[in-house]
Chain A
Amino acid sequence: MSTHLASKRSQPGQARLRREAVTGILFVLPTLIIFAVFKFLPIGGAGAMSLTQYRLNGDVEFLGAENYERLFADPNFWQSLGVTLGYVVIFVPLIIVISLAGAVLLNNLKRHDGLFRSLLFIPYLSSFVLAGIIFKWIFSNDGPINVALAGAGLGAIPFLSGDQWIVLLSLAMVAVWKGFGYSMLIFLAGLKAQPGEIHEAAKIDGATSWQTFRHITLPLLKPVTFFVLVIETIVGFQVFDTVYVMTGGGPANASHSLIYFLYDQGFEFFDFGYAAAIGIVLFFIVLVLSLVQRRFFNEKA
């Protein structure tokens, strides 16, 4: 049996190589076709379309860089980019602090950790739409929070109708509620991978829990934190569902995010070429974030 194996390996032969190639091609063929038509073509198409005026009836007019010139001169674009940046600046630190806190607390547990992990993770299963519907009710003027505030003789909080920072904070809180379970599990894995001896040694040297956390746990967690930071920043830049369900971009464009701007241009005004150009801008934002992350991880590894 072993000689048979050796001979088969030592002389692969043209026929075998060709058979292997044929099998390989046949096995990738379905994926190749699907990717060629529905991934590679649209990716190329996005770049091409962004250089045209593309109308509903199929009329195409080549514009060159005109969409981009128009985009960079469009106050609505800068407004939506500003909204998105403001949202990211609120959302990312919030989700990192809460998911890290959840992970540290779970890591402290000796029992019931499975139960609490599930309880904290459950919102991740919901859609942003579901989360948006629940919190639109919770945040409404006659919702439980504002009713409780009124009962305490306090004024209502205009979660979804106040000034821009209140609205963006409200939207960010919904996304944190829905999404932090995922980052929490990543952090938890990072914590569990840390060597216990270093923490033990610090303790023996008289470090407080906070000092151990601040000077040992946190620095060791840096690569994980960076991974979560980039992932959640990308998620933050893509904010749309909660805006669509909860505010419709309002009040007065206060939550009119980049993807909402893209959606409006494409499917309210049917300005497809212009909307494609917005998509390309998003692509470059995400690309830069991904490259930064890749570079960081290659240095670490």
Chain B
Amino acid sequence: MTTVSSTPHSAGTSEGPSRPQTGNPGPGGRQRKRKSLNTPRWSIASLIVISFFTVAPLLAVVVLAFSPADEPTIPYALPTSLTFENITRIFSVGAFPTWLLNSVLYSVISVVVVLLTASMAAYALARKRFPGRNILLWSIIATLMVPVQATLIPTFILIANLDGVNTIWGLILPTLANGQAVFLIRQFILDLPEELFDAARIDGSGEWRTFVSIVLPLIRPVLATLAIFVFLWHWNDLLWPLVVGQTDEARTLTVGLATLNTELVSTSNIMAAALISFIPCLLIFLFLQRQIVSSITSSGVKG
């Protein structure tokens, strides 16, 4: 077979597994086909096409958000002028500033409280022996198998009984029980060398000081990862904020956005609101993209 006899030669000219094999014309048609499939040019062309589909809708939001509301959007020429009118208009529509504030509170408070309480619990569950430890650990891990929608109704009734409907704390409290955070931080602490904790103990450091000055700095990578994901989950969450915040004053931005689809507001107004809702997520990504990528591929965090 000609293909087989020629391959050692071609393998010799290219080291990498998917390097393009220019300058070495293969004899068989099969061989030629393989080379064309392997060229990065082919991959890059495909990736450019896919990138267009991922980015174009978001670019459309940006363009529409800055287009005059009365400008005919058909047949999709670029706008003749750009305006900030939609942005200023949307801040005066309904309770938009309140929605924005609620989203910030819901996301930021949750991140801080979840990270602190889950770190404390994870440290104790990984390094301290106390009665009931294993039962608690497995109960928390078991909650990961329960989808939030399955407990939506009883959680709502609970919050209603505590008079938490349409309040920011009623929104935040149930989401502070984050099993994934406890689980991931505990796994991370288990991988740290025991000696670090022993050393702190022997130096006579108190437990709280050990936690704050030894444990928290050591687990910073997993905390950064979780901060990103807890923020994104809360910022983008719909169902729970939708049922617990039923008045305009209690809505988050995502819920507000979902309910904004009325004739009162034009498409370009809605896109302005949509753009504002996306900016924090984009900023987090731009600053921390390496962290996000490595954390997904290593731990499989899923929102």
Closest to A25 in B: B130
A280 in contact with B50 given A133-B261, A241-B239 (CB within 8 Å) = no
Which listed residue, A107, A116, A244, A290, touches B238 by the CB 8 Å rule? A244
Total residues of chain B contacting the partner, CB 8 A: 105
Interface assignment of B145: CB less than 8 Å from any CB of chain A: yes
Which listed residue, B57, B128, B143, touches A24 by the CB 8 Å rule? B128
- Among A9, A133, A144, residue most surrounded by chain B Cβ atoms (within 10 Å): A133
Q: Are B40 and A4 in contact (CB under 8 A)?
A: no
Complex CA distance for A27 and B271, rounded to whole angstroms: 45
Interface assignment of A73: CB less than 8 Å from any CB of chain B: no
A125 in contact with B296 given A28-B136, A38-B158, A134-B60 (CB within 8 Å) = no
Which stretch in B79-87, B88-96, B218-226, B273-281 binds the other chain?
A: B273-281
Give the distance to chain B from A140, nearest Cβ to Cβ, in Å.
9
Complex CA distance for A128 and B243, rounded to whole angstroms: 17
Which residues of the other chain, A, contact B60 by a CB distance below 8 angstroms?
134, 137-138, 144
Q: Are A27 and B139 in contact (CB under 8 A)?
A: no
Which listed residue, B44, B73, B143, B243, touches A109 by the CB 8 Å rule? B44
Within 8 A of A (CB), among B136-155: 136, 139-140, 143, 145-147, 149-155
Complex CA distance for A267 and B160, rounded to whole angstroms: 13
Complex CA distance for A144 and B64, rounded to whole angstroms: 12
Give the distance to chain B from A239, nearest Cβ to Cβ, in Å.
11
Q: Are B149 and A279 in contact (CB under 8 A)?
A: yes
Which listed residue, A21, A111, A272, touches B131 by the CB 8 Å rule? A21
A42 in contact with B154 given A118-B289, A123-B58, A245-B258 (CB within 8 Å) = yes
Q: Are B50 and A105 in contact (CB under 8 A)?
A: yes
CB within 8 Å: A-B pair count:
300
Which residues of the other chain, A, contact B117 by a CB distance below 8 angstroms?
30-31, 34
Complex CA distance for A117 and B176, rounded to whole angstroms: 32
Which residues of the other chain, A, contact B74 by a CB distance below 8 angstroms?
142, 147
Complex CA distance for A28 and B232, rounded to whole angstroms: 25
Total residues of chain A contacting the partner, CB 8 A: 109
Give the distance to chain B from A168, nearest Cβ to Cβ, in Å.
19
Which stretch in A74-82, A88-96, A154-162, A203-211 binds the other chain?
A: A203-211
Complex CA distance for A132 and B4, rounded to whole angstroms: 52
Q: Interface digits, A166-201 against B, CB 8 Å rule (1 contact, 0 not)?
A: 000000000001000110011011000000100110
Which listed residue, B7, B38, B51, B145, touches A120 by the CB 8 Å rule? B51
Give the distance to chain B from A144, nearest Cβ to Cβ, in Å.
5
Within 8 A of B (CB), among A15-41: 17, 20-25, 27-28, 30-32, 34-35, 37-41
Interface assignment of B193: CB less than 8 Å from any CB of chain A: no
Interface assignment of A71: CB less than 8 Å from any CB of chain B: no
27 contacts between A and B (CB under 8 A): A23-B207, A24-B129, A42-B158, A49-B153, A101-B46, A108-B43, A111-B40, A119-B55, A120-B47, A125-B281, A129-B238, A129-B255, A133-B257, A134-B57, A137-B271, A142-B73, A147-B74, A147-B76, A181-B54, A188-B297, A206-B7, A208-B33, A238-B149, A244-B242, A262-B153, A263-B243, A282-B150
19 extra interchain contacts, Cβ-Cβ under 8 A, other than A23-B124, A209-B34, A240-B149? Answer: A28-B124, A54-B157, A108-B40, A110-B19, A119-B54, A121-B293, A122-B282, A125-B285, A137-B271, A138-B57, A151-B75, A185-B293, A200-B17, A203-B17, A206-B3, A206-B7, A244-B242, A244-B258, A279-B151
